[in-house]
Amino acid sequence: MYRVAAEFIKDRIERIPEIGLVLGSGLGSLADSIEDPTFIQYKDIPGFPETTVPGHIGRFVVGEYRGKNVIAMQGRFHYYEGREMEQIVLPIRVMRILGVKILVVTNAAGGINPDFSAGDLMMIEDHINFLGLNPLRGSNLDELGPRFPDMTYAYDPFLRKKLMEIAQELGIPLRKGVYAMMPGPSYETPAEIKMLKAMGADAVGMSTVPEVIAAVHAGMKVVGISCITNMAAGVLDKPLNHLEVMETAERSKDQFMSLLSNFIASL
């Protein structure tokens, strides 16, 4: 399926992308800055589902950004939408077949670390998979990667170091931490957040981990950024809602775009 989808896209683009971007809730506007863009709607690609989440446009944008050939996902697929693992990681495998070597994953996340505040950016150092599923389950795709991929450095140390250096040069406060994935779509309970904190998580969300696993399996180097759009349940005495996530992502957009733009230019 991923090869058919990749050929469909390849026939419609002029540039071979080297950098892939997964843009999460409220963060898709970065793709609007891509020069000479080619837009490919997910619904038009063979085997692709449509995204159903507010803030996820549902298309690839292929073009040039800060002198680099990129392919950006404006919106992703989530387990809570009823998607199978194969569908969730399909875009990642397609990007690898197209030539992507570096994958930048972004997401909106709830802050667990009490030192965080809504609006912070967090570089993902590692993740915890509470989904209970792995996208590599089943027959191994030998042409993409090994049966048992090592996840010790799922988030590439060199890219993490470079991202932190760029943030320091720009004067952008960049947190570091562990991202935990929960299945959603309900937000976590205060008790679940206490559990995640005890297990070492600094932020929690409902995406990213399957994509990173598939990317590492396929030999891509990964770097990740979470936008802390709200504090998780029980951290503050207030209810959670998706509108807050979108509003905070919008407020953090300028710093997020400046960091990511300069990082990509440095690659």
Residues marked as catalytic = 25, 56, 78, 80-81, 108, 206-207, 230, 242
* 3-state SS, one letter per residue, for the chain: CHHHHHHHHHCCCCCCCCEEEEECCCCHHHHHHCEEEEEEEHHHCCCCCCCCCCCCCCEEEEEEECCEEEEEEECCCCHHHCCCHHHHHHHHHHHHHHCCCEEEEEEEEEECCCCCCCCCEEEEEEEEECCCCCCCCCCCCCCCCCCCCCCCCCCCHHHHHHHHHHHHHHCCCEEEEEEEECCCCCCCCHHHHHHHHHCCCCEEECCCHHHHHHHHHCCCEEEEEEEEEEECECCECCCCCHHHHHHHHHHCHHHHHHHHHHHHHHC
